[in-house]
Amino acid sequence: MRVVIAGGHGKIALILERLLVEAGHEPIAIIRNPDHRDDVDATGAAAVVLDLEDASVDEVGQVLKNADAAVFAAGAGPGSTAERKFTVDRDAAILLADAAEAAGVPRLIVISAIATDRFDPDSQDIFQLYLRAKSEADASIRSRDLDWTIVRPGSLTNDPGVGRIHASDVVPGGGRIPRADVAAIIASLLETGAASRTQFEVVSGEDSIADALAGLA
């Protein structure tokens, strides 16, 4: 598969790129900063420099040409402004979906966040605005005639992946999950086509990734 990953220098994305290369696939990483190219090259993926905050649908569509799937793994990141929560976490995800539709890319996987729809609409707290931005992006994705999947992980850690998760429409109480396991989930979704037109929350748990995802179908 040819898989285009928006936010290709993110921690989850770099792990995913290695997994895809090891499985014989062709990941293409969209990165904003050309200084990050070496890190992407080290995974075996190919890097394309493009700023999703300034890019057009046509520009993103050119990168997506002949792709089998697209993954949204971008994010404004900790310490970013409220404005960038919307221009990156919301608008860039919508841009990728628009470009996927225009380019005829059938599969779209979005990395969102747990409890996204449970934001406080009256709050100006930066985290609540982040959840709102993600929720609005997810709503746009769900409206598309695409083979989409929205993955909503709990609090992310840099612990080694264990390959055991709990996935459900809603995970009460939240939880944590290693970034490596999120990357493995995305790789499995791409290879199996599981959880089509489904959104789910996921934390560390007792089920294997394959069993947990199959249970969402």
Q: Given this model, what pLDDT does residue 76 score? A: 84
Q: Are 165 and 202 in contact (CB under 8 A)?
A: yes
Share of the chain above pLDDT 90, in %: 95
Q: Given this model, what pLDDT does residue 136 score? A: 97
Q: Given this model, what pLDDT does residue 78 score? A: 79
Task: For residues 125 and 174, give the distance between their C-alpha atoms in angstroms, rounded to a whole number.
Answer: 20
Beta-carbon neighbour count of residue 162 at 10 Å? 14
User: Could you tell me whether strands 198-204 and 164-168 are parallel, antiparallel, or unpaired per DSSP bridges?
Assistant: antiparallel
Q: What is the pLDDT of residues 132-171, one digit of tens each?
A: 999 999 999 999 999 999 999 999 999 999 999 999 999 9
Q: What is the pLDDT of residues 30-48, one digit of tens each?
A: 999 999 999 999 999 999 9
Q: Given this model, what pLDDT does residue 217 score? A: 64
Residues 6 or more apart in contact with residue 193 via CB below 8 angstroms: 107, 147
Model pTM score: 0.96
Task: For residues 198 and 9, give the distance between their C-alpha atoms in angstroms, rounded to a whole number.
Answer: 26
Task: For residues 110 and 152, give the distance between their C-alpha atoms in angstroms, rounded to a whole number.
Answer: 9
Residue 69, pLDDT above cutoff 90: yes
Average pLDDT, the chain: 96
Q: What is the pLDDT of residues 171-184, one digit of tens each?
A: 998 899 999 999 99
Q: Given this model, what pLDDT does residue 79 score? A: 81
Q: Are 9 and 36 in contact (CB under 8 A)?
A: yes
**Which whole number is the average pLDDT over 51-59?**
97
**Which whole number is the average pLDDT over 15-36?**
98
